[in-house]
A and B are shown apart, each in its own frame.
Chain A
């Protein structure tokens, strides 16, 4: 680190950006890790149905299965755009 760099340090360094991106993608992938095989297809079909009525982006439909003791919950989360 030289004299100038010593003062430029304030801006977020690339390692921090890497860490934040990793935290998000790893959390996301952990969630989908233990999910049933049919889930991606289910998600796509729900997408198609919703898209007939509202214009939404792929990542606005989230489908997860949570296991809770002796029952499981299918959770469906659809974020609609403001204009809908």
Chain B
């Protein structure tokens, strides 16, 4: 039986797709058979970030409507074994994502995979609802910024009331905070919420902190998830996140600024 994990946030553009691509790739690199499902119907992007956009033939909606089999629609990753992508439809509208259809596809995938990652669209509408409905765990991607934190709290409320586990009174969804685009320098200057601030407000355990990083844009330009490049800060942060997800104890990195001498702190310089 696969573990179903939703990558969600409420607010748009915080790094869900980036995180889904790298966490999924990381799970597969560590030997776990993983499938990534893009729930962002009409605005598919996971295929681009994974670098498989030219190999999309059938999509999630085709499978739901019986126009293609799962086998036909799943795209095998070129770089890592045991990694598959199920792209979103670019042409259909969101309502094509029926709850029964989603359940059937997840059930079928469950027998064959270890992890199913659902990349949620932004917002709290139908697509986001479908992405979280059958989840066992949730990774709530949050930026250290007021509107993102507020929206994450809203999403936590929905995870606790509008999902199958909540409605059927099963064990609640296991929630993880993934703090993304963290800039320790700005935190140090008092311009950005700290990790501790966000943890205190959202009150869920941290699964990782991903620094604001130039490597992320470079990776998406190339269609190679940043986790592949373990010389980069974001790449390391994502691999650590994956290890924690698998139960390993790994210290958080990139939460303290690099040490600078007292003089350079007082007189400025030495930054960037």
Write the residues of chain A forming the contact surface with B, with a CB cutoff of 8 angstroms. 1-3, 5-6, 9, 13-16, 18-19, 21-23, 25-26, 29-30, 33-34
Contact = CB atoms under 8 A, between A and B. Distances in A.
A3 B99 CA distance: 60
B93 interface: no
A21 B146 CA distance: 8
Contact of B190 (A2, A6, A13, A29): A13
The listed residue with most B CB atoms (<10 A of its CB), out of A6, A14, A22, is A22
B193 A1 contact: no
Contacts of B150: 22, 25-26, 29
A18 B193 contact: yes
Interface string B146-190: 100110011001000100000000000000000000000001111
Task: Tell me if A's interface is mostly helix, strand, loop or mixed.
Answer: helix
A75 to B, nearest CB: 20
B193 A33 contact: no
B194 A26 contact: no
Nearest to A9: B190
B245 to A, nearest CB: 26
B191 interface: yes
Interface string B174-218: 000000000000011111111001001100000000000000000
Contacts of A29: 150, 153-154, 157
Contacts of B154: 29
B157 A30 contact: yes
